[in-house]
Copies of this chain bind each other. A is one copy, B any other.
Amino acid sequence: MSDTSYAYAQVRETISQQIAEQKLTGNLPSERELCATYDVARSTLRQALGQLEHMGLIYRKNRSGWYVCPRKLKYDPMQHTSFLQYTTAQGFQPSTKLVEQKKQKPCKEIANALELDGRTSLTSILRVRSVDGRTVVVEELNFSNKHLPNIDKHDLSLSISVLLKNTYHHHNVLYDIAVESCCLFNPIAQYLNTYDGALGLKVTRIVRDLEGTAFEFDREYWRHDALMIENKAKLHF
């Protein structure tokens, strides 16, 4: 049991317990109602709600209200099962929407990672992915035109891994993944139906061929409360 010596901690523990016992489902009462119930100021209540949000127990829809979080999606960035595959396997209804596709020059970070100079062109797509009608991740995928000739001529709203396999014959690739917590700002926060400054998880991925030449650089911005990273491996001491 956590510390309950402060008002916000008591409110937090009470609500947290009600959620655990499933006495609280769907959407919560309004902040002003909760203030009255627990006899605290709105700022104190919002401190409690903020912590419950960080615990992944509740989330907010912009100016609409607070809701109890659905269960988390389990995701292994090292596996190459598709989004469709691993979400449906866990009983979710997935959907993906391609938001934008453009050809552009790489930023410093990408140029560095893909060992490109600033003039080489890059094909970038932005897509949002949802489960059960709730957007959980915004993905920015960047492909090096130099290493994947004419990639911008293909339909990138279809499966990218199939494209890499069939058209570019990348059957074996190396993954470089980084996961860190981050802050979500507009416009990404808006895609995720959350607020400017919300908490998120950032997954960065560099994809290389077996010679070590990098041809893809991805950034995934996840709702922090929608995701649990999972990973299995065999180790030799």
Contact = CB atoms under 8 A, between A and B. Distances in A.
Contacts of A174: 232-235
Interface stretch (A86-94, A125-133, A136-144, A222-230): A222-230
Given A3-B196, A175-B233, A183 B54 contact: yes
B56 A180 contact: yes
Nearest to A79: B235
Interface in A78-127: 78-80
A9 interface: yes
B196 A56 contact: no
Contacts of A182: 54-56
Contacts of A177: 229-233
Contact of A2 (B55, B196, B230, B237): B196
Contacts of A229: 177-180, 229
Interface of A: 2-3, 6, 8-9, 12, 43, 51, 54-56, 72, 74, 77-80, 161, 164-165, 170-183, 185-186, 196-197, 199, 201, 210, 224-225, 227-237
